[in-house]
Structure 1
Amino acid sequence: MGGHTGAPPHDQVYDYLKARFPHHPVGISHNCAVFAAENILGWFPARLSDWWFMDYVPQHFEKVDFFGMSYYGRISHDPLPITYLNHPHKIKELGRKHDDIWEYYPEGLRTCLDRYWNKYKKPIIITENGVCDESDFLRLQAIQDYAAIIHQAIGDGIDVQGYYHWSTWDNVEWHLGPSMRFGLYQCDPRTRNRFMKPSGALYASLAHSKKITVHKHAEMAF
């Protein structure tokens, strides 16, 4: 690395990579969410979470060629975080749409895109986005919802240069094991056989044709 320069570790690594590969873009992947309060007790925890995750953390990784971000949903507080995984009854009482872990809030992707585009004015790559959905029905809707949001954001001038759906096939979550389903392909953990889900076919159509069939017969071009 050429010795300690006093620069933050991220900046040192960035400089090292650019020196070795000057024409390759270097960036990060920042985990984003929309933090909201359900009542007065949740106001401060939500503001603190928002500041920590959405402002304080990314400010340590600003030396980049692109801003990478992942997004999965909205996290409300009352005062503790509310997720379907930990508090399914609260999500149901609030009447919120949800996948098997989080509140489903696709509008939040645009909120995060606007926030970081306005702050950094650097190209954005969505490095993770999807839903935890064993049934695959919500995933079919999510692909349409998120594609429409990204399409509109690009039309409004946000430089979105890439999108990665999480995940190609059902994976092993850090602390939940193989029980949660994120994949476009169903994966049998015993045999490792993989089978395309309907969402996989829909995503393939979008990837190859830059068109997606939405609301029965309408088509959206990208």
Structure 2
Amino acid sequence: MRAHRRQLTIALAAALVFAIGLAPPGSGASSPSLVVDRTIVCSIVQGNPPEITVRAQSGTRVFGDRSTWKFRANASFSDPSATRPGTYAWITAGWPPDEEFGRPASAQSLAMTTRCRPSRSRVPLSTAGLAGGVASPTVDDYDCVVPRTILVRIRGVFRTPTSLRRGTREQLAAAGPIQEGTLAIRTQAGKQIALATVRESGHARLFVADSCRPSS
């Protein structure tokens, strides 16, 4: 009987390890880590042709107070045609968080919608085939024509361990100071659409494909 129970325990443990190994990345809240790296597949259902908005902004400090951010370096993508909260992902770097009039500062530095699904597809963090450079402090904004389905990779290197947690607006978010972050978007066929980077120094860079044009 004891031998049978021991064999059953071993079998259950092996099954649990196997199941964990098959769990898709980014499927929900995660264990604390210095690096949050998720790839998701998103459906862009509106528009003919479908479009997304990609933007990046270099950080700006408060005049006369170099210790305070007016705007942190940030990068994001969104589906402007979708109903709120829509399809999106964003990342920001610079600490402490900037404060907006009438709103408390948010410690969130990385977020993505739960409307997209986790993906095991490979999305390189490369600017090959893209054009761009340093993002303006007043926001660089592009509209990009895309297929109905896109891949999005969002990666943040944090100064202290953090984890993705479910928010209240159909999103997963991680809080804490980010050293550097990257947002990369490509088609499922492998064509790169955009890549943006942010750093805690306030520097942001944005590179886009020829299917993108400045937002009007």
User: TM-score by structure 1 length?
Assistant: 0.20
Larger helix fraction of residues: 1
Q: Which has the higher contact order (CA 8 A, sep 6+)?
A: 2
State the TM-score, normalizing by the size of structure 2. 0.21
Q: Report the structure, 1 or 2, having the larger strand content.
A: 2
